Structure 1
Amino acid sequence: MPTAPRPQTTDELNQALEENDRRPYGRTRTVTAEELVEAAEQFAEPVPLINALLELQEAYTYGSEPRKSPVVFARLLTLFDEQPDVFDARMRHLLFWRFKWVAGALRALPEMPLTSQRQWLTEMRSRYEKAGLGLQPYYGQAYQLAAHTGENTAVAYELWAARTRTQLSDCEACEICERALFHLAAGDDKRALRAWEPVLAGKESCQEEPARSVSHALLPLLRTGSVEQAVDMHLSGYRSCRRNPSMAGEVGRHLEFCALTGNEARGLELLAENRNLFDEVDSPLDQLDFLTGVEVLLQRVEHLGHGDLPAAGYSGRTWTVADLRAEVRGRADDLAGRFDTRNGTTARSDVRRTRLDRAPLLDALELTLRVRSLDDVAAAAPATTPSAAPTPRTTAPVPDSLPELILGARELDHQGHPDARACWERLRTLHTARGYTHPDDPAVGPLLLLRADLLADEANRAGERDEYTDAADLHEEAAGLYEDAGAPAHAALSRACALLATAEIPAEGDGAAEAKAAELTAAHASMVRLCEETPGLVPELEARLLRLRATALGLRLQASGSEEHAASVLAEVALLHEFAARHDNDGQVSGALLLRASTYAISGDLPGAVAEIDGLLDRLKAHGPAWHVPRTLGLRGRLQLGLQEPQSAHASLSEAVRLAAEWPLGTVDTARLHADLAGACMHMGRHDEALRHLTRSAEQDLRRGSRTEAFCTYSNAAQLSLDLGRVEACIALLDSVLAEPDLVAGEVDDRLVAQLRLTRARALYAGEDLKAATAEFVALAAESAGWDDDPGSHAMIAAETAVLLGESGEFDQARKVADQALAAHAQDPRFEQISSCLRELARTQAQQQGADGLPGARAFLAEAGKVADEARAAGYESRDRSLDTALAYEHGRVNAYAGAYDDALASLDRALALLGEPGTDEDRAGEWAECVRLAGAVQGIYLERPAPALARLDSAISRLTALGHTAEAEPLTALAGRLRDEQ
Structure 2
Amino acid sequence: MPHAIQTTDELFQALQENDERPYGRTRTVTAEELVDAAEQFEEPVPLVHALLELQEAYTYGSEPRKSPVVFARLLTLFDERPEVFDERLRHMVFWRFKWVGHALRQLPEIPLASLRQWLTEMRDRYEKAGLGLQPYYGQAYQLAAHVGEDTTLAYELWAGRSRTRLSDCEACEICERALFHLAAGDDERALRTWEPVLNGKESCQEEPARSLSYALLPLLRTGAADRARELHLAGYRGCRRNPSMSGEVGRHLEFCALTGNEARGLELLAENRNLFDEVDSPLDQLDFLTGVEVLLQRVEHLGHGELPATGYTGRTWTVSGLRAEVRGRADDLAARFDARNGTSTHTDRRGTRLGRAPLLDTLELTLRPRSLDDVAPAAPVAAPASRTTTAVPESLPELILRARKLEEEGHPEAQVCFARLRTLVAAHDYAHPDDPAVGPLVRLRADLLADEANQAGNKDDFAEAAALHEEAAALYEDAAEPGHAAVARACALLATAQIPAQHAAGAEARAAELTGVHASLVRLHEETTGLAPGHEARLLRLRATALGLRLQTTGSKEHVEPVFAETDLVQAFATRHDLAGQLSGALMLRASTHALSGDLPAAVTGVDALLDRLRAHGPAWHLPRTLGLRGRLQLALRDPEAAHADLTEALRRAADWPADTVDTTRLHGDLAEACMHLGRPGDALQHLTRSAEADLRRGNRIDAFCTYSNAAQLSLDLDRVEDCIALLDSLLAEPDVAAGELDDRLTAQLRLTRARALRAGEDVKAATAEFAALAAESAGWDDDPGSHAMIAAETAVLLGESGEFGPAREAADQAIAAHARDPRYELLSNCLRELARLQAQQQGAEGLADARAFLADAGRIADEARAAGHEPRGRSLDSALAYEHGRVSAYAGAYEDALAALEKALALLGEPGPQDDRAGEWAECVRLAGAVEGLYLERPAPALVRLDAAVSHLTAQGHTEETQPLTSLAARLRDEE
Give the TM-score taking structure 2 as reference length. 0.98
What one-letter code is carried by the residue in structure 2 that aligns with 1:680?
A
Partner of 2:647: 653
User: Structure 1, residues 92-115: CA drift from partner, whole Å, max 9, x if none?
Assistant: 211111111111111111111111
2:881 counterpart of 1:883: no
Distance 1:695 1:402, change over 3 A: same
Distance 1:645 1:868, change over 3 A: same
Deviates more, 1:646-655 or 1:130-139: 130-139
Partner of 2:380: 385
Identify which of 908, 914, 918 aligns with 2:908. Answer: 914
2:526 counterpart of 1:535: no
Distance 1:945 1:676, change over 3 A: same
Partner of 2:257: 259
2:274 counterpart of 1:276: yes
Kept in 2, the 8 Å contact 1:637–1:649? The answer is yes
* 3-state SS of 1:666 partner: helix
What one-letter code is carried by the residue in structure 1 that aligns with 2:830?
S
Identify which of 824, 828, 834 aligns with 2:828. Answer: 834
Kept in 2, the 8 Å contact 1:507–1:516? The answer is no
2:545 counterpart of 1:551: yes
Kept in 1, the 8 Å contact 2:383–2:416? The answer is no
Partner of 1:678: 672
* Distance in 2 separating the partners of 1:352 and 1:920: 71
Kept in 2, the 8 Å contact 1:396–1:419? The answer is no
Tell me by how many angstroms 1:437 deviates: 1.9
Identify which of 321, 337, 346 aligns with 2:335. Answer: 337
* 3-state SS of 2:660 partner: coil
Tell me by how many angstroms 1:4 deviates: 2.9
Partner of 1:191: 189
* Distance in 2 separating the partners of 1:518 and 1:954: 71
2:769 counterpart of 1:775: yes
* Distance in 2 separating the partners of 1:651 and 1:424: 34
Tell me by how many angstroms 1:978 deviates: 1.2
Give the TM-score taking structure 1 as reference length. 0.98
Alignment of 1:26-37 (within 5 A): 26-37=24-35
2:19 counterpart of 1:21: yes
* Distance in 2 separating the partners of 1:397 and 1:328: 45
Tell me by how many angstroms 1:9 deviates: 2.0
Partner of 2:233: 235
Identify which of 779, 783, 791 aligns with 1:797. Answer: 791
Kept in 2, the 8 Å contact 1:507–1:515? The answer is no
Partner of 1:326: 324
Kept in 1, the 8 Å contact 2:383–2:419? The answer is no
Partner of 2:611: 617
Partner of 1:597: 591
* Distance in 2 separating the partners of 1:360 and 1:933: 60
Kept in 2, the 8 Å contact 1:189–1:220? The answer is yes
Identify which of 929, 934, 948 aligns with 2:928. Answer: 934
* Distance in 2 separating the partners of 1:48 and 1:154: 44
Identify which of 135, 138, 153 aligns with 1:137. Answer: 135
Gaps of at least 5 residues in structure 2 are: none
Tell me by how many angstroms 1:187 deviates: 1.1
Tell me by how many angstroms 1:172 deviates: 0.7
* Distance in 2 separating the partners of 1:561 and 1:816: 48
Partner of 2:570: 576
What one-letter code is carried by the residue in structure 1 that aligns with 2:2?
A
What one-letter code is carried by the residue in structure 1 that aligns with 2:868?
A
Partner of 1:306: 304
* Distance in 1 separating the partners of 2:885 and 2:518: 67
* 3-state SS of 2:127 partner: helix
Partner of 2:848: 854
Tell me by how many angstroms 1:508 deviates: 6.6
* Distance in 2 separating the partners of 1:122 and 1:319: 46
Alignment of 1:490-501 (within 5 A): 490-501=484-495
Tell me by how many angstroms 1:45 deviates: 2.3
**How many aligned positions are there?**
976
Kept in 2, the 8 Å contact 1:262–1:363? The answer is yes
* 3-state SS of 2:659 partner: coil
2:354 counterpart of 1:359: no
* Distance in 2 separating the partners of 1:829 and 1:664: 50
Identify which of 489, 512, 515 aligns with 2:509. Answer: 515
Tell me by how many angstroms 1:12 deviates: 1.5
What one-letter code is carried by the residue in structure 2 that aligns with 1:385?
P
Kept in 1, the 8 Å contact 2:476–2:485? The answer is yes
Tell me by how many angstroms 1:921 deviates: 4.0
What one-letter code is carried by the residue in structure 2 that aligns with 1:219?
L
What one-letter code is carried by the residue in structure 2 that aligns with 1:227?
A
What one-letter code is carried by the residue in structure 2 that aligns with 1:309?
L
User: Structure 1, residues 798-832: CA drift from partner, whole Å, max 9, x if none?
Assistant: 10110000001110000001000000000110000
Distance 1:853 1:880, change over 3 A: same
What one-letter code is carried by the residue in structure 1 that aligns with 2:290?
T
User: Structure 1, residues 759-804: CA drift from partner, whole Å, max 9, x if none?
Assistant: 1111111111111111111111111111111111111111011000
Tell me by how many angstroms 1:292 deviates: 1.4
Tell me by how many angstroms 1:390 deviates: 4.8
Alignment of 1:716-727 (within 5 A): 716-727=710-721
* Distance in 2 separating the partners of 1:967 and 1:346: 69
* Distance in 2 separating the partners of 1:33 and 1:428: 65
2:429 counterpart of 1:431: no
What one-letter code is carried by the residue in structure 2 that aligns with 1:620?
L
* Distance in 1 separating the partners of 2:489 and 2:65: 74
Distance 1:510 1:503, change over 3 A: closer
Deviates more, 1:920-929 or 1:963-972: 920-929
Tell me by how many angstroms 1:463 deviates: 1.3
Kept in 2, the 8 Å contact 1:918–1:924? The answer is yes
Tell me by how many angstroms 1:121 deviates: 0.8
* 3-state SS of 2:751 partner: helix
Distance 1:269 1:774, change over 3 A: same
User: Structure 1, residues 33-67: CA drift from partner, whole Å, max 9, x if none?
Assistant: 11111222222222222211111111111011111
Distance 1:97 1:393, change over 3 A: farther
Partner of 1:411: 405
Kept in 2, the 8 Å contact 1:554–1:569? The answer is yes
Identify which of 481, 485, 488 aligns with 2:475. Answer: 481
Distance 1:910 1:509, change over 3 A: farther
2:174 counterpart of 1:176: yes
* Distance in 1 separating the partners of 2:504 and 2:597: 24
User: Structure 1, residues 141-199: CA drift from partner, whole Å, max 9, x if none?
Assistant: 11000011110311111111111111111111101110111111111112111211111
* Distance in 2 separating the partners of 1:743 and 1:237: 25
User: Structure 1, residues 524-556: CA drift from partner, whole Å, max 9, x if none?
Assistant: 111112211223321111211111111111111
Deviates more, 1:782-791 or 1:466-475: 466-475
What one-letter code is carried by the residue in structure 2 that aligns with 1:312?
T
User: Structure 1, residues 888-931: CA drift from partner, whole Å, max 9, x if none?
Assistant: 11011101111111111111111111111122247422211111
* Distance in 1 separating the partners of 2:912 and 2:504: 49
Distance 1:602 1:509, change over 3 A: closer
Partner of 1:7: 5
Distance 1:661 1:647, change over 3 A: same
* Distance in 2 separating the partners of 1:263 and 1:690: 23
Kept in 2, the 8 Å contact 1:409–1:424? The answer is yes
Kept in 2, the 8 Å contact 1:390–1:704? The answer is no
Identify which of 211, 219, 236 aligns with 2:217. Answer: 219
Tell me by how many angstroms 1:392 deviates: 4.1
Tell me by how many angstroms 1:229 deviates: 2.1
Partner of 1:709: 703
User: Structure 1, residues 622-654: CA drift from partner, whole Å, max 9, x if none?
Assistant: 111111110110011101111111111111000
Identify which of 459, 464, 468 aligns with 1:470. Answer: 464
Tell me by how many angstroms 1:880 deviates: 2.1
Partner of 1:765: 759
Tell me by how many angstroms 1:851 deviates: 0.8
Distance 1:669 1:484, change over 3 A: same
* Distance in 1 separating the partners of 2:807 and 2:339: 55
Gaps of at least 5 residues in structure 1 are: none
